[in-house]
Structure 1
Amino acid sequence: MLGPIFFFGISILLISYLILYPVVEYFRDPKGLRKYPNLNTFSGLTNLSFIYEAHQGFRSKKLLQAHQNAPVIRIGPNSLSYGDPKAIKDIYGHGTPCDKDRFYSVLAGSHYHLADVIDKPDHARKRKILSSAYALKNLEGWEHKVADKCERLVRAFDTRCTGPPGGSEEKLISSDDLTVDYRAWTNFFTIDAIADIGLSERLGFLDAGNDSCMAERMDGTLYTVPSYRASLHATARAQSNLVWGYDWYPMLVKLSKIFSRRFREYWRLNEGWNDIVWHRTCKRLRRYQAGEPLDDFFASLMENKSGHMNMMEFGEIMAEVSIMMNAGSDTTALAMNNVMFLLLKNPRCMAKLREELDAVLDPEDVVAPYDKIRYLPYLRACLDEALRIYPPTTFGLPRRTPPDGATIMNDYVAGDTTVSISAYVAHRNPSLFPDPESFQPERWLGEKGKELQPYFISFSAGARGCIGRNISYLEQSVVLSTVIHRYELALLSVDWEPARWESFNLMSGPMPVKLWKRTFESEKLVTS
């Protein structure tokens, strides 16, 4: 008899918690959020609605469509999305009263890293420690590491070159000639580069042509993870699908492991990622403890330039290594892939960029020297325009209004409300970016380009903006200049498109290209 009564009681509690309470709160509307349009039918009632959108694969595109009709959209019972770039300053700018949202603490491990720390004094402490590592002046010291990886990329590409397309003006490409997956190889580059810059470790992905990687369990067991990228991306896919129900996230993780074969595989690969980070951190710590003098990111974590210890706990050090190996590789690789894709789709822009590069680079420059290219305006314009159209991190980085509320775009928003603006949405505002879907690097040139910078948030904005943007621009500039100067490239066809899906980043599938060496005028004269 007690069994049915217990089951009935639990059922009533669940119905009350999942249905009755949300409906009552929706109509009670204590924060005045019901005036904003909903992203979908249930957005005002439950966060499960945004989890549903995340499972569709490209939630920011759905947001873009919704923001065509309204500047503010309600994406959850306590969450607002903004579509007007004028909200950037109020949400992310220097002096904003908004803090990082609970989103970051839900995903944080035992220790916060710079990207997910919420407490402002703790963030200031971390940023002070890390700013010296990421400072612009350090780029000169690390440029040789980037050049070394770019030389290895060139070596790999040279062995995979084919002959020029034959015959007709259409230059038909055979699928057999698609010898380079540009997406994979640029990712090998960024992982190798950040491992060297950050940990003075040579992973050797560019030499091997794959991302098989050593990992270590906490008991000291060493084993090989077949794919660094697969482990990293699986982690992001699992978390980005489930995190939006903050209070329910631990339960959703457990349920996903029970009821979804796909998610069980994601979480299995996630263990590989954790062990990759553990091994990298332990290995580099042993070198530090042995007194090996190395100038890298890890050294800056351990002590400042005066040699004084920063006194960071091991868990905190490992958290910083994790975000460095994650964000420091994947977002830059996506940017590299996207700018090449857009240039191949826009031959006029490719020709203009190549002309700018040829004017400063010599035929014998195997790797583009950074001092020759760092101030080229059209090169930077191409990078920024690609970052505008396909920002690597597309989702709205969530912030939370202070307890007494905040004013956003002259509109009062109640306290402890989640607010955000997606870079994918902001960068498609036609009043700022006319014809927003077209690739127009020229929009970033001159005074007009400077006026657009406050609305460019591929690296976020304000005090919490990406600390690694200088390294990213260095790597992007050197690789793009080297490849464009040395090679010709072609997609399978003019209408080919890569597969894209959104986790936290806007991911891209393989991009197979045909690659062949350029012939310079001086070489033509010698052979004629």
Structure 2
Amino acid sequence: MTSSQELPKPAQGDIYTFGGRLTVTNAAANIFVVYNRRPTETTSTPPSGLSLDFVMGNVYLIDATFISPFAEGTARSGNLVKGLGLQSEGCHFGDTSIETVYDDIVCVVTNQPGADCNIGTVAGNVVTVCNMGCRQESSPPKNIKISTVVGFELEEPPVVSGGGFLQNFCNMAVVTLLVQALLCLGLGVSIIYTVSYIIYNIFFHPLRNFPGPLVMRATRIGYCYKLVTGTLSFDMLDIHQKYGDVVRIAPDELAFSDAGAWKVIFGHKISGNNATGITSSATFEKSDSFYRPIPGLPRDIITALGPQHAALRRQMAHGFSDRALREQQPIIMKYVDLFIQRLKDQATGEAPASPFLSNAKSPPGGPVNIMLWFNYCTFDVIGDLAFGEPFGCLENCDYHPWVRTIFQMIKVGVAFQTANHYSFLRRIITTALSTKSMHQRREEHRQMTIQKVLRRIELGKQGPRSDLVEGLLKKKDEWNMTIDELEGNSSILIIAGSETTATLLSGLTYMLLKNPDKMKKLVDEVRGTFQKEEEIDLTSVTKLPFMLACIEEGLRMYPPVPTGLPRVVPEGGATISGHFIPENTIVAIHQWATYHNESNFKNPTKFHPERFLGDIEYATDRREALQPFHLGPRNCLGRNLANVEMRIVLARLIWNFDLVLADDSQDWLEKQKIYILWAKGPLNVYLKPVKRDLKA
């Protein structure tokens, strides 16, 4: 074969080249490429190149210079590849371009296989043998660039010329075949295990008779995918509508939308007949895979079990009592006053500039992201009630770094919740998040919280305070609580007592603006009830029935925690919604899906506060299905505080401003996803301060 000859496409046998340009588009064969160090002085052969597209075989790139059996031409070549017909000129100086190889690539080279060797995807192993036959020291080739290798990348040590090459080449081939065999064996075992696991879950699992999507009954992959993509809560509505009130959404998990399931799962105790007919009575504990996505952290008011939770709740309940709320009213009103003043500044373009917000100073009459301001207000209120000092969000017109970190970590928590179901994912995510910057951010957040807790402890030495952590601090020494335990419980109070309240206010504002007739009724009620703004307080707002109904309807249509909060069926099993559920089954009620299910509420997608005011049209609504604060021994501890904040903030907002929804927020709700909590975008509204006759 001369250097001018070309090979057919596609080639059906082994292909070799020792000179000239070789271009192969599709090859169902092995390809041998022999490079010489340089052309001889007597030849004028120009630099050659190699271009391979798809190769369904092995590719051998061999540098023949000084390497037996290639160094002396055709006569000696048969020792490895019979009939290569080597010539002195080669393609060593040509560029090598290989697109995709579906098997191994073996590079047997001295220093450089060519001017450039660019290799795309290798669906096998890449083995490089360097310094072949050259007794002087040399470096591995630096111009072999490979984008993707599915198998292993192996680099063999230097060997000497002659028979050593053949021995090393054979050893290398054995190693490569062994690795491939082990990979195939592992793949086979994995396939057998996966198929067996799926068959068991579908046909033999104790929950096999409960309906649900096949992919979710077979594995947790479907559930996890919906969770990490933020669509699980929305998809749950479709699943319930198709399969009924009790559905299987994972091999070991059931979801309920029946109103009666609330008391059984979340009540103080459950009573029902187990499989043997014996009555069982126990508490459904929280699922650690959901509530403790990062193992090893101290248990807090959310994750504590049994007696530990009861003790923590008793001490913390003092700060949420009616008496405590009355004493806390001046603190709440102080930040609501600042909230209203900042909105007036925004409406006239007079707000102080923020270093983090390029448009912090709104133009006069321009839209305002009201969602941010609800968060600023609720975080400052809860910060003062928990730590004795605000976060300064309203003062600075921006999030405090502590608050900003909380929002950034929500999706991280979802990733860990998913990883808890697959150990290999947990290792990957843990490794990915174990960067220096992530460690630094977490430590900075922890230290900020600890410093706030320590300042609150010092503040308590001046006298008792009617705030949210006073009861906990009184037991600090008796219970030997560490600073990390205090920090954990304080952080939970901040998150649960701020973001959820701001979420409801944002969603309710949006729905009122999308339903102008309801907004008008609310405006008429608020402005017709009070003669002056100072009359709006925690007592007077309870006398606004339509506003209270709007809040209830807002909680139904836009629950602050829209997903399901899973529990575990206790030992002996339990009967839920007429079905016996085996022990250790995870059970949940997904709130958004339950509240939008026609089996519970008529016209569920319609914002109609009158359904909570005795409207006969909605007499068939199952209002007991609406439990946004949950019930039982683990219901929301901050329910009273949340209600006070929502009522006062909403009434003051309606009293002071006429609101119009901006064009870019008309589809605000439709663009959202859910990662345990709502992933909200800007809610832009136009604020027009209400002008009143001061003489009236």
* TM-score scaled by length of structure 1: 0.84
**Aligned partners of 1:272 and 1:151: how far apart in 2?**
33
Asked if 1:461 corresponds to 2:631, the answer is yes
Asked if 1:42 corresponds to 2:207, the answer is no
* Counterpart residue number, 1:11: 187
Instruction: Give the one of 177, 181, 184 matched to 2:369.
Output: 181
Q: Which amino acid aligns with 2:396?
A: A
Structure 2, unmatched stretches of 5+, are: 1-174, 271-281, 350-361
C-alpha displacement of 1:335? 0.6
| Residues 162, 515 of structure 1: 8 Å contact kept | no
| Residues 533, 655 of structure 2: 8 Å contact kept | no
Q: Secondary structure at the match of 1:91?
A: helix
Greater Cα shift, 19-28 or 382-391: 19-28
Residues 468, 364 of structure 1: CA spacing in aligned structure 2 closer, same or farther, 3 A cutoff? closer
Residues 82, 205 of structure 1: CA spacing in aligned structure 2 closer, same or farther, 3 A cutoff? same
- Once the two structures are superposed, what CA deviation does each residue of 1:24-59 show, in whole Å capped at 9, x if it has no partner? 42245241x1222233x4212221221111233221
| Residues 87, 408 of structure 1: 8 Å contact kept | yes
Q: Secondary structure at the match of 1:139?
A: helix
- Once the two structures are superposed, what CA deviation does each residue of 1:130-159 show, in whole Å capped at 9, x if it has no partner? 111222221111111111111111111111
Q: Which amino acid aligns with 1:235?
A: M
Q: Which amino acid aligns with 2:688?
A: W
**Aligned partners of 1:36 and 1:479: how far apart in 2?**
45
Instruction: Give the one of 395, 402, 417 matched to 1:207.
Output: 395
* Counterpart residue number, 1:167: none
**Aligned partners of 1:391 and 1:151: how far apart in 2?**
26
Asked if 1:356 corresponds to 2:525, the answer is yes
**Aligned partners of 1:465 and 1:339: how far apart in 2?**
22
* Counterpart residue number, 2:298: 111
Instruction: Give the one of 657, 670, 674 matched to 1:502.
Output: 674
* Counterpart residue number, 1:140: 326
Q: Which amino acid aligns with 1:340?
A: T
* Counterpart residue number, 2:253: 79
| Residues 160, 180 of structure 1: 8 Å contact kept | yes
C-alpha displacement of 1:490? 0.5
Q: Secondary structure at the match of 2:218?
A: coil
C-alpha displacement of 1:389? 0.2
| Residues 367, 662 of structure 2: 8 Å contact kept | no
**Aligned partners of 1:323 and 1:394: how far apart in 2?**
18
Residues 28, 345 of structure 1: CA spacing in aligned structure 2 closer, same or farther, 3 A cutoff? closer
* Counterpart residue number, 2:573: 405
Instruction: Give the one of 32, 47, 58 matched to 2:231.
Output: 58
* Counterpart residue number, 2:428: 255
**Aligned partners of 2:322 and 2:368: how far apart in 1?**
32
Q: Secondary structure at the match of 1:94?
A: coil
**Aligned partners of 1:135 and 1:270: how far apart in 2?**
38
Structure 1, unmatched stretches of 5+, are: 164-173, 216-227
| Residues 198, 219 of structure 2: 8 Å contact kept | no
For 1:215-226, list aligned pairs within 5 A.
none
| Residues 202, 218 of structure 2: 8 Å contact kept | no
C-alpha displacement of 1:275? 3.2
**Aligned partners of 1:264 and 1:209: how far apart in 2?**
32
Greater Cα shift, 141-150 or 455-464: 455-464
C-alpha displacement of 1:85? 2.3
Instruction: Give the one of 451, 471, 492 matched to 1:300.
Output: 471
* TM-score scaled by length of structure 2: 0.65
- Once the two structures are superposed, what CA deviation does each residue of 1:72-107 show, in whole Å capped at 9, x if it has no partner? 221111011112222222222231342212322444
Instruction: Give the one of 588, 608, 622 matched to 1:420.
Output: 588
C-alpha displacement of 1:9? 4.9
Q: Percent identity?
A: 25
Asked if 1:514 corresponds to 2:514, the answer is no
Asked if 1:195 corresponds to 2:383, the answer is yes
* Counterpart residue number, 2:493: 324
**Aligned partners of 2:308 and 2:216: how far apart in 1?**
33
| Residues 390, 506 of structure 1: 8 Å contact kept | no
| Residues 538, 644 of structure 2: 8 Å contact kept | yes
Residues 463, 157 of structure 1: CA spacing in aligned structure 2 closer, same or farther, 3 A cutoff? same
| Residues 444, 452 of structure 1: 8 Å contact kept | no
Greater Cα shift, 498-507 or 279-288: 279-288
Greater Cα shift, 410-419 or 267-276: 267-276
Residues 16, 301 of structure 1: CA spacing in aligned structure 2 closer, same or farther, 3 A cutoff? farther
| Residues 277, 322 of structure 1: 8 Å contact kept | no
**Aligned partners of 1:309 and 1:361: how far apart in 2?**
48
**What is the CA RMSD across the aligned residues, in angstroms?**
3.0
| Residues 73, 80 of structure 1: 8 Å contact kept | yes
**Aligned partners of 2:631 and 2:490: how far apart in 1?**
23
Q: How many residues align?
A: 488
For 1:254-293, list aligned pairs within 5 A.
254-256=427-429, 272=441, 275-289=444-458, 291-293=461-463
C-alpha displacement of 1:161? 1.7
Asked if 1:344 corresponds to 2:530, the answer is no
**Aligned partners of 2:434 and 2:372: how far apart in 1?**
25
**Aligned partners of 1:254 and 1:342: how far apart in 2?**
42
C-alpha displacement of 1:233? 2.4
Q: Secondary structure at the match of 1:489?
A: strand
Greater Cα shift, 445-454 or 203-212: 445-454
* Counterpart residue number, 1:154: 340
Instruction: Give the one of 389, 396, 400 matched to 2:564.
Output: 396
Q: Secondary structure at the match of 1:243?
A: helix
**Aligned partners of 2:323 and 2:660: how far apart in 1?**
37
* Counterpart residue number, 2:544: 376
- Relative contact order: is structure 1 or structure 2 higher (C-alpha 8 Å, sep ≥ 6)? 1
| Residues 237, 597 of structure 2: 8 Å contact kept | no
**Aligned partners of 2:227 and 2:472: how far apart in 1?**
35
**Aligned partners of 1:356 and 1:308: how far apart in 2?**
50
Which protein is richer in strand relative to its size? 2
C-alpha displacement of 1:289? 4.4
- Once the two structures are superposed, what CA deviation does each residue of 1:465-489 show, in whole Å capped at 9, x if it has no partner? 1111111111111110000011111
Residues 270, 518 of structure 1: CA spacing in aligned structure 2 closer, same or farther, 3 A cutoff? farther
Residues 268, 462 of structure 1: CA spacing in aligned structure 2 closer, same or farther, 3 A cutoff? farther
Residues 108, 484 of structure 1: CA spacing in aligned structure 2 closer, same or farther, 3 A cutoff? farther
Residues 176, 273 of structure 1: CA spacing in aligned structure 2 closer, same or farther, 3 A cutoff? farther
C-alpha displacement of 1:500? 1.1
**Aligned partners of 2:265 and 2:456: how far apart in 1?**
42
Residues 461, 124 of structure 1: CA spacing in aligned structure 2 closer, same or farther, 3 A cutoff? same
- Once the two structures are superposed, what CA deviation does each residue of 1:196-230 show, in whole Å capped at 9, x if it has no partner? 011111221101111133x6xxxxxxxxxxxx23x
Instruction: Give the one of 379, 385, 391 matched to 2:553.
Output: 385
